[in-house]
Amino acid sequence: MDLALSTEFAGLTDWRLPNIEELRSISAINCLNPSINESVFPNTPLDWFWSSTPFPNATAVYMARVIFFSQGGDSSGYRGDDGLVRLVRSGR
């Protein structure tokens, strides 16, 4: 079960995990520590955040793309590892 689909926040329940492109769109490549607009996204931890995008390697089915809001880069992580999420609304 997708935990994001069962999350209620601000009276809304149509939250989902963003894909890697959506996360990149809020990353500020001209900023470091954090690499995100702090006026729009205050108190963003200097850590990595999960995306819904699978790692593009057929042998790595247990991996997904992550983005680091400390430096703005992205990588991959094992889906069973701890990490942070920034949910988005599904737009229904």
What is the structure's pLDDT at 18?
93
Q: In sequence order, which residues have a C-beta less than 8 Å from that of residue 75 and are 6 or more positions away? A: 48, 65, 66, 68
Point out the residues of the chain with pLDDT beneath 50. Answer: 1
What is the structure's pLDDT at 33?
85
What is the structure's pLDDT at 89?
86
Q: What is the pTM of this model?
A: 0.78
What is the structure's pLDDT at 60?
62
